[in-house]
């Protein structure tokens, strides 16, 4: 009997980035050989590496191993999401004693997403009413106009943000130096 967490959850990763996870597999039964197979035959036929299985956004290593009773091995899963959202693939872990169990590998492909949720304390749907929501009223020279914008990180990964104001929108070289500008953002 194998003790391996199911599903093997790789948590979150940015699209184009990679997360590597290790899952401890303990043999609580007798000595045995074990091998991962893809649930679908067409996925199994695409396998080119002997030591690993590549299925969807996941790469599982080792794909085959032998464990003596009471021993353990780490199963490594690399998660490199190719699309946004919850991703899942199904596997079969077969034993040489003619038994098998279904396993899942899961992960969430994340993209950076900030939402404006309130302006001046009034909740808004910025996606339905985008531009007029945060325009500044006309003001006299040397006067100051202030708006308070509440934003939310809607991606599942915590990200440190900072504001930068640029004089030229399509500048080839962006510097964070102190530019003369008519706007100020705090914090």
Q: Which of 55-69, 124-138, 147-161 is the least confident region? A: 124-138
Mean pLDDT of the chain: 82
- Measured CA distances, 35 to 67, 75, 90, 149 (Å): 11, 11, 14, 54
CB 97 within 8 A of CB 66: no
Residue 187 has pLDDT above 80, yes or no: no
Beta bridge partners of 122: 119
What are the pLDDT digits (tens) for 21-35? 999 999 998 899 999
Residue 169 has pLDDT above 70, yes or no: no
pLDDT for position 38: 86
pLDDT for position 50: 82
What are the pLDDT digits (tens) for 99-119? 999 999 999 999 888 777 887
What confidence tier does 43 reach under pLDDT thresholds 50, 70, 90?
A: confident
CB 170 within 8 A of CB 152: no
Q: Evaluate whether the domain defined by 2-110 bears CATH number 3.40.50.720.
A: no
Q: Which of 30-34, 145-149, 165-169 is the least confident region? A: 165-169
CB 52 within 8 A of CB 59: yes
Residue 111 DSSP SS3:
coil
How far, in whole angstroms, is CA 187 from its chain's centroid?
Answer: 27
Considering the chain, tell me which residue range(s) the CATH 2.60.40.10 domain(s) occupy: 2-110
Residue 172 sits at φ, ψ, to 5 deg, of -70, -30
């Amino acid at each position: 009997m194998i003790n391996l967490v199911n599903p093997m959850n790789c948590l979150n990763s940015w699209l184009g980035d990679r997360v590597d996870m290790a899952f401890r597999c303990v043999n609580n039964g007798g000595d045995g050989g074990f091998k991962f197979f893809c649930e679908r035959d067409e996925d199994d036929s695409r396998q080119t590496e002997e030591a690993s299985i590549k299925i969807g956004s996941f790469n599982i290593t080792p794909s085959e191993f032998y464990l003596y009773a009471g021993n353990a091995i780490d199963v490594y899963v690399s998660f490199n999401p190719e699309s946004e959202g919850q991703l899942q693939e199904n596997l079969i872990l077969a034993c040489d004693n003619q038994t098998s169990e279904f396993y899942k590998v899961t992960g969430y492909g994340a993209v950076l997403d900030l939402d404006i949720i309130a302006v001046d304390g009034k909740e808004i749907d910025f996606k339905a009413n985008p531009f007029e929501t945060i325009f500044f009223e006309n003001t006299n020279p040397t006067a100051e106009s202030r708006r308070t914008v509440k934003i939310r990180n809607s991606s599942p990964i915590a990200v440190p943000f900072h504001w930068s104001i640029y004089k030229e929108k399509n500048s080839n070289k962006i510097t964070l130096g102190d530019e003369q500008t008519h706007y100020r953002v705090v914090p």
